[in-house]
């Protein structure tokens, strides 16, 4: 991504009936009571005068979002907040998230925390804000950024750039035959292009439209590290899932077995890619983003992933719950990080094979702060 577009930078299939709910249904967690009850039995914002907040994640199965959910629950328990949880049925399920937003409005919640599945939720978010709900995006900044009141997220461009710089240095001047395993190929989401374009920029490969994956030259010269020639073998979607990461890598390998460097959107996709590479007898360096204890940091320690950028979903959720509680109590609204259009929750490069001049932490260090 070009430096002039850094202010705009900011992440995770079909539509099914409604929401994936905690324990097969959405749960409302009344923090002060420490008990979980089906959301249908809760009056949300009206119950006991407490602040009611809905957390809506992309899926209810991805470990990243499970960590986010746990962080929100714990913070809600501290703050006396009634938390309702819902998720899309799968990554990309915008319709399920829209239903969750509408339910939050109907309950009279004070605010919504959402990791948006795509631009299809924007209209529902706008409608919720007009009804007076304070809406915070977590992890994935919407486009445009002001669709929500504020975003708490990783700087996805910076996360991608770090693993790109590391990968370029590790190529040691050799030709880089690259597979790009992205999030989608049918919609544009900031986390997707931010990480992909950041990785390419870190490699020293010129990108064109900073909000579009796949339009860079398919061969040329990378300038990172010692520099060298590169080819891009493929751009394939994974939807951030291990099984689709495997099938995406298999598609790439059907085109060429010369791949020696694999960028993956996240660590479940990296795990799937590793399975496909091993089955094909191909050795390649894998880089990724997330920093979860498993499979991410465990795979770094095992040498499956060469480097990953660790982000902090628990912090995102904690900050989100605190912010809505504070606003409900008449306090100040949170502000973005200077120079950005979101609040940066931080990122660390994790590798057990460090590069001179590139700040990183070890897998042992990262395992102590997984998603904290």
258 has pLDDT over 90: yes
What pLDDT, on the 0 to 100 scale, is given for residue 371?
Answer: 84
Least confident of 32-36, 46-50, 57-61, 241-245: 32-36
**If we measure between CA atoms, which residue out of 313, 309, 321 comes closest to residue 371?**
313
Confidence of residue 42 (pLDDT cuts 50, 70, 90): very low
What pLDDT, on the 0 to 100 scale, is given for residue 327?
Answer: 97
Cα–Cα–Cα angle for 195, 198, 199, rounded to 5 degrees:
85
For residue 172, being part of any structural domain is answered with yes
For residue 207, being part of any structural domain is answered with yes
Read off φ and ψ for residue 209, nearest 5 degrees. Answer: -75, 115
Same domain, 70 and 103: yes
What pLDDT, on the 0 to 100 scale, is given for residue 50?
Answer: 86
Least confident of 12-16, 105-109, 245-249, 364-368: 12-16
Please state, for a pLDDT cut of 70, what percent of the chain lies above it: 87
Q: How many domains does the chain have?
A: 2
CATH classification at residue 281:
3.40.50.2300
Whether residue 193 contacts residue 210, with contact meaning beta carbons closer than 8 Å, is answered with: yes
Whether residue 133 contacts residue 71, with contact meaning beta carbons closer than 8 Å, is answered with: no
What pLDDT, on the 0 to 100 scale, is given for residue 287?
Answer: 98
For residue 372, being part of any structural domain is answered with no
Least confident of 40-49, 78-87, 234-243, 253-262: 40-49
Q: With the C-alpha atoms ordered 77, 79, 80, 82, is the resulting torsion angle positive or negative? A: negative
Same domain, 279 and 165: yes
Residue entry with tokens 């959405």: 26
Same domain, 9 and 149: yes
Residue 307 vs residues 271, 304, 325: alpha-carbon distances, Å = 13, 9, 37
35 has pLDDT over 70: no
For residue 206, being part of any structural domain is answered with yes
Same domain, 109 and 258: no
Write out pLDDT tens, residues 60-93. 998 899 999 999 999 999 999 999 999 999 888 9
46 has pLDDT over 50: no
What pLDDT, on the 0 to 100 scale, is given for residue 294?
Answer: 85
- Summary mean pLDDT of the chain: 88
Cα–Cα–Cα angle for 189, 194, 198, rounded to 5 degrees:
160
Same domain, 224 and 296: yes
Whether residue 62 contacts residue 243, with contact meaning beta carbons closer than 8 Å, is answered with: no
Residue entry with tokens 């209209």: 123
Q: Give the three-class secondary structure for 133.
A: coil
Same domain, 335 and 355: no
Q: With the C-alpha atoms ordered 251, 252, 258, 264, is the resulting torsion angle positive or negative? A: negative
Whether residue 238 contacts residue 275, with contact meaning beta carbons closer than 8 Å, is answered with: no
Same domain, 209 and 355: yes
Query: Any alpha helices (H) in the chain, and if so which ranges?
Result: 63-79, 94-107, 122-130, 156-171, 190-203, 242-255, 267-280, 298-301, 313-328, 363-367
Question: How many of the other CB atoms lie within 10 Å of CB of 48?
Answer: 12
Q: Which residues contact 312 (CB under 8 A, 6 or more apart)?
A: 154, 291, 345, 346, 347, 369, 371, 372
For residue 195, being part of any structural domain is answered with yes
Question: Could you give the CA distance from residue 301 to residue 306 in angstroms, rounded to a whole number?
Answer: 9
96 has pLDDT over 50: yes
For residue 150, being part of any structural domain is answered with yes
What pLDDT, on the 0 to 100 scale, is given for residue 62?
Answer: 87
Q: Whats the size of the chain, residue-wise?
A: 372
DSSP run (H or E) holding 287: strand 285-290
9 has pLDDT over 50: no
Same domain, 244 and 323: no
Same domain, 229 and 243: yes
pTM over 0.75: yes
Least confident of 24-33, 55-64, 209-218, 292-301: 24-33
When comparing pLDDT for 47 and 76, which is higher?
76
Same domain, 112 and 34: yes
What pLDDT, on the 0 to 100 scale, is given for residue 49?
Answer: 55
Average pLDDT over residues 304-333: 97
Domain range for 353 is 156-310+347-367
**If we measure between CA atoms, which residue out of 321, 334, 368 comes closest to residue 348?**
368
For residue 163, being part of any structural domain is answered with yes
């Amino acid at each position: 991504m070009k430096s002039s577009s850094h202010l705009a930078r900011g992440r995770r299939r079909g539509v099914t009936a409604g929401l994936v709910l905690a324990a097969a249904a959405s749960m409302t967690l009344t923090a002060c009571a420490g008990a979980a009850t089906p959301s249908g039995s809760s009056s949300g914002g009206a119950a006991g005068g407490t602040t009611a907040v809905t957390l809506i994640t992309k899926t209810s199965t991805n470990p990243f979002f499970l960590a986010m959910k746990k962080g929100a629950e714990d913070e809600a328990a501290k703050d006396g907040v009634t938390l309702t949880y819902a998720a899309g049925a799968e990554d990309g399920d915008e319709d399920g998230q829209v239903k969750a937003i509408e339910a939050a409005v109907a309950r009279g919640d004070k605010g919504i925390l959402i990791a948006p599945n795509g631009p299809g939720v924007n209209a529902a978010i706008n409608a919720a804000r007009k009804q007076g709900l304070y809406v915070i995006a977590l992890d994935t900044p919407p486009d445009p950024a002001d669709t929500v009141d504020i975003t708490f997220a990783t700087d996805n461009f910076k996360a991608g750039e770090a693993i790109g710089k590391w990968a370029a240095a590790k190529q040691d001047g050799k030709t880089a035959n690259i597979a790009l395993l992205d999030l989608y190929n049918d919609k544009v989401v900031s986390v997707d292009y931010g990480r992909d374009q950041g990785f390419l920029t870190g490699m020293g490969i010129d990108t064109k439209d900073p909000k579009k994956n796949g339009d860079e030259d398919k061969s040329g010269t990378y300038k990172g590290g010692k520099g060298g020639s590169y080819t891009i073998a493929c751009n394939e979607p994974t939807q951030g899932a291990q099984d689709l990461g495997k099938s995406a890598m298999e598609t790439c390998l059907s085109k060429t077995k010369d791949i020696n460097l694999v960028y993956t959107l996240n660590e479940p996709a990296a795990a799937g890619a590793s399975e496909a590479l091993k089955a094909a007898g191909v050795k390649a360096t894998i880089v990724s983003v997330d920093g979860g204890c498993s499979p991410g940091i465990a795979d770094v320690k095992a040498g499956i992933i060469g480097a990953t950028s660790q982000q902090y979903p628990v912090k995102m959720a904690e900050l989100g719950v605190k912010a809505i509680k504070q606003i409900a109590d008449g306090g100040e609204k949170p502000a973005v990080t200077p120079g950005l259009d979101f609040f940066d929750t931080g990122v660390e490069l994790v590798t057990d094979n460090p590069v001179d001049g590139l700040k990183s932490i070890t897998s042992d260090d990262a395992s102590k702060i997984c998603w904290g």
